[in-house]
Amino acid sequence: MSRRPVNPARRVADGGGMPFVGSSQSKTRSSPLISIGLVVTGAVLLVLYCYSGPGGQSDKHIVSRVEGGASCAFEVQRAMPILKKTYGNSMQKVLHVGPDTCSVVTQLLKEEDTEAWGVEPYELDDADSNCRSLVRKGIVRVADIKFPLPYRPKSFSLVIVSDAVDYLSPKYLNKTIPELARVSTAGVVIFAGYPGQSRAKVAELSKFGRPAKLRSSSWWIRYFVQNKLVENEAASKKFEQASKKRSYKPACQVFHLNSNH
Ligand SMILES: *[C@@H]1O[C@H](CO)[C@@H](O)[C@H](O)[C@H]1NC(C)=O
């Protein structure tokens, strides 16, 4: 479920095929009035299908969020109950890496029995006072994730990264993802954007250094295999089951990797 790219355009096209079947059959009938009636009915059905078809509501929800510049950091926050169900005790010491880490860390700190830290890979130009306080306390650090992370091996139980991987070329992914595995014990969770989602506005490009490269799930899986990064199958399964139970559909791709120790 979490691996399937959202493609609302194709879904509409698939559904749109149905009424046209009806209209072509109508050509074999004798009365032109019936034909016209069928065409009109087909058109009405098509319109109805587009507006109330299965999944139409949730797709529209996602699309409107994406147009507003969706971020997977927001998705990490939405997925928190599912992540807790999946990782249980391994949520004791969590490191979040990615833009908007202050808001993710703030939410994590509200959870019982959870300590949380954050790495903000980009400038914090408009940080609020809460965020500045987290930085002052050393809970959130601003650090370029193209370089080794400023933590000892196995410092955290779980490492969650969102969005940041979409801005890294394979050359830097090769350095950064093993770093995330190095500082964790129970695994790494990657939240990556789906191809086709719109991301940072042009004004923000200088901050991220390059436009987001949203890769397909098959790209990611091939990348993990090539780099001997092993999927945490138990966690993937639990995450999928918990998502299904709560009818949660992630708006980002979610991958679970082992820490490889
Ligand atoms: C990343 O690592 C893989 C596996 O070691 C290697 O095949 C690939 O060429 C590397 N990519 C870059 C851009 O360095």
Residue 162 lies in domain:
70-257
User: What's the CATH code of the domain at 157?
Assistant: 3.40.50.150
Q: What's residue 203's pLDDT?
A: 53
Could you tell me how many helices (H) and strands (E) the chain has, helices first? 11, 6
Does residue 1 lie in a domain region? no
This prediction has a pTM of 0.73
Q: What's residue 62's pLDDT?
A: 39
Both 125 and 155 in a single domain? yes
CA distances from 150 to 106, 146, 154 (A): 21, 12, 12
Q: What's residue 248's pLDDT?
A: 96
The number of domains in the chain is 2
**CB of residue 227 inside a 6 A radius of ligand 1:** yes
- Tens of pLDDT, residue by residue over 3-44, are 344 344 443 334 333 434 344 444 444 555 556 555 555 555
Both 104 and 230 in a single domain? yes
Q: What is the pLDDT averaged over residues 228-239?
A: 96
- Of the two residues 174 and 204, the one the predictor is more confident about is 174
Both 36 and 160 in a single domain? no
Both 114 and 38 in a single domain? no
pLDDT band of residue 127 (cuts 50, 70, 90) is confident
- Report d(CA 256, CA 245) in Å as an integer: 19
Q: Above 80 in pLDDT, residue 77?
A: yes
Atom of ligand 1 nearest to the CA of 170: 13
**CB of residue 241 inside a 6 A radius of ligand 1:** no
Mutate to test the pocket of ligand 1, among 226, 230, 260 (most ligand atoms within 8 A of CB): 226
Both 38 and 138 in a single domain? no
Does residue 65 lie in a domain region? no
Does residue 63 lie in a domain region? no
- Tens of pLDDT, residue by residue over 143-159, are 999 999 999 999 999 99
Q: Above 50 in pLDDT, residue 73?
A: yes
- Of the two residues 36 and 252, the one the predictor is more confident about is 252
Both 224 and 97 in a single domain? yes
Both 100 and 194 in a single domain? yes
Dist. CA 194 → ligand 1 center (Å): 22
- Spatial contact of 150 and 97, defined as CB atoms under 8 Å apart: no
Both 156 and 253 in a single domain? yes
Does residue 62 lie in a domain region? no
Both 119 and 12 in a single domain? no
Backbone φ, ψ for residue 207 (5° rounding):
-65, -45
**CB of residue 222 inside a 6 A radius of ligand 1:** no
* Cα 154 → chain centroid: 25
Both 159 and 193 in a single domain? yes
Q: Above 50 in pLDDT, residue 109?
A: yes
Both 115 and 142 in a single domain? yes
Q: What is the pLDDT averaged over residues 69-94?
A: 92
Both 135 and 218 in a single domain? yes
